């Protein structure tokens, strides 16, 4: 059994100076505080926590340790004489329901203190996450609920130096993406409501908070501006031209240090795949006889696992996208140029023959220095900007935007078909959805499409040729 929880250690195994630990000491679980922080105390401060020594005690101890560390750093546990603040410590334990409350209610209702959550904000969030976990994809749970969303809350607590719901809400609105903030606040409300239902909390301070958010937020941008940033993949300012895309591919292919990225990068440009989808492509996903590839899984770097595509309304219930690969076309020839391995092997590998690391790819794309002094430190885009072949920097994700704008604006392919290829929402009725799916498999993503007028002219030309042949036969 561990004897210390959530404590940063030196190579000797001892906690760093200034670090609170919550650990087993003399047969009970105690909070142990660093000596220098309480000069008025004769001995090191060690306080009983009330945490029972049962299976899973480490989780509760870890949560209490984080809270006590924050309290100590903010000076709330220091009395004026340099001694330990016993009153504040007991208040913290009361919040965590480890000690009975000593507060007395005087007089009538007007004298009562406002209701206060018995658990910390992060404790409520972790409880809610565990409740939601079985119904979420592992990667979504780790990246969003225990990743980005929790980071939002930790940042808000640190910035406001409080857990007041209104302060947390206002800080998030002013400093984080408004769309995500609404999701966080909505889930916080559900979390507190769950706690109230289980009688762990007395009230829900986040109830209705998403309704109060005005359009202006996320660093002063309006909701309309944010929606455009997130959803408008046809914005050409967020895409490279096809000539610029070719310049990127030429540079990578000719660069000794970058050349192993060529096939991976070209595949992204030719298909509009997300990075995780390109990493997850396997040889069994390539149907040579049907001249198409199947995009049916993605790779998550944080968990190191492959997952099926998200099965939601975006794909109308489908979990596989079918992308045409005309024989002897660019995409066909690209995949043919790669030595084929076993069906369940991934197609694109790192320089070491392993799964592509998206962080490594990003470093090659952007470079490792803001102001590189040598060409060896230049990223792909940095080098081409210096050479005048690119006009701006765009992140690797925008290879997707580049494919989409090229297909729609340069090749004249219907936007709904391109959306079908890329897994975007298609705003058509169910009646017409199958028609889009059929045409999406027939359209060549590498050839310029004829306009309706051009198609009509071509039909008339073919009819005229047929008439001329018939007349020639009659004259004979």
Q: In this predicted model, what pLDDT tens digit does every residue of 416-460 receive, in sequence order?
A: 888 888 876 555 434 444 444 555 566 677 777 655 556 566 667
Average pLDDT value over all residues in the chain: 78
- 81-117 pLDDT, tens digit each: 778 888 788 888 888 877 644 333 333 334 444 444 4
- 33-56 pLDDT, tens digit each: 998 888 888 788 888 888 877 777
Helix (H) or strand (E) run with residue 293 in it: strand 292-295
- 197-255 pLDDT, tens digit each: 888 888 888 888 887 565 444 344 443 433 333 345 566 778 899 999 999 999 999 98
Task: Write the CB contacts of 474 (distance below 8 Å, at least 6 apart in sequence).
Answer: none
Alpha helices in 300-451 (DSSP H): 330-336, 358-366, 380-386, 398-405, 415-422, 430-442
CA dist 469 and 222 (Å) reads 64
Interhelix angle 415-422/430-442, nearest 10 degrees: 80
Reported as a pLDDT band with limits 50, 70 and 90, residue 14 is very low
Neighbours of 10 (CB within 10 A): 10
Residue 64's nearest CA partner among 30, 36, 35 is 30
pTM strictly above 0.75: no
CB 265 within 8 A of CB 249: yes
């Amino acid at each position: 059994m561990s004897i210390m929880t959530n404590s940063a250690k030196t190579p000797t195994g001892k906690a760093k100076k200034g670090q609170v630990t919550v650990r087993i000491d003399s047969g009970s679980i105690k909070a142990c505080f660093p000596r220098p922080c309480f000069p008025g105390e004769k001995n090191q401060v060690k306080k009983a926590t009330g945490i029972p020594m049962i299976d899973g005690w480490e989780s509760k101890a870890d949560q209490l340790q984080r809270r006590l560390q924050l309290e100590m750093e903010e000076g709330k546990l220091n009395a004026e004489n340099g001694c330990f603040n016993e009153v504040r410590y007991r208040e913290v334990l009361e919040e965590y329901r480890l000690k009975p409350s000593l507060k007395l209610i005087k007089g009538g209702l007007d004298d009562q203190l406002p209701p206060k959550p018995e658990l910390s904000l992060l404790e409520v969030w972790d409880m809610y996450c565990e409740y939601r976990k079985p119904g979420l994809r592992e990667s979504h749970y780790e990246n969003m609920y225990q990743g980005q969303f929790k980071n939002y809350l930790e940042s808000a607590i640190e910035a406001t130096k409080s857990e007041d719901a209104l302060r947390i809400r206002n800080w998030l609105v002013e400093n984080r993406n408004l769309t995500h903030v609404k999701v966080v606040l909505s889930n916080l409300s559900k979390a507190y409501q769950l706690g109230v239902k289980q009688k762990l909390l007395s009230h829900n301070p986040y109830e209705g908070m998403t309704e109060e958010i005005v359009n202006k937020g996320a660093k002063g941008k309006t909701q309309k501006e944010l929606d455009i940033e997130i959803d408008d993949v046809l914005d050409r300012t967020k895409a490279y031209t096809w000539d610029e895309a070719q310049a990127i591919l030429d540079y990578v292919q000719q660069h000794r240090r970058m050349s192993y990225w060529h096939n991976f990068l070209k595949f992204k440009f030719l298909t509009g795949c997300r990075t995780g989808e390109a990493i997850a492509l396997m040889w069994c996903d390539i149907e040579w006889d049907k001249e198409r590839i199947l995009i049916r899984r993605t790779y998550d770097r944080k968990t190191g696992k492959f997952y099926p595509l998200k099965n939601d309304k975006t794909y109308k219930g489908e979990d596989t996208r079918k992308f045409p690969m005309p024989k002897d076309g660019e995409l066909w020839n690209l995949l043919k140029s790669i030595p084929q391995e076993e069906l369940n092997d991934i197609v694109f590998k790192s320089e070491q023959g392993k799964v592509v690391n998206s962080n490594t790819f990003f470093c090659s794309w952007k470079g490792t220095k803001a102001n590189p002094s040598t060409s060896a430190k230049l990223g792909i885009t940095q080098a081409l900007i210096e050479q005048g072949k690119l006009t701006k920097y765009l992140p690797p994700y925008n290879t997707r935007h580049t494919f989409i704008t090229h297909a729609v604006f340069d090749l004249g392919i219907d936007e709904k078909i391109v959306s079908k290829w890329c897994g975007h929402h298609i705003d058509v009725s169910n009646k017409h959805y199958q028609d889009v799916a059929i045409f999406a498999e027939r359209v060549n993503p590498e050839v310029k499409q004829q306009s309706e007028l051009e198609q009509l002219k071509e039909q008339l030309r073919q009819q005229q040729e047929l008439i001329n042949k018939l007349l020639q036969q009659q004259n004979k």
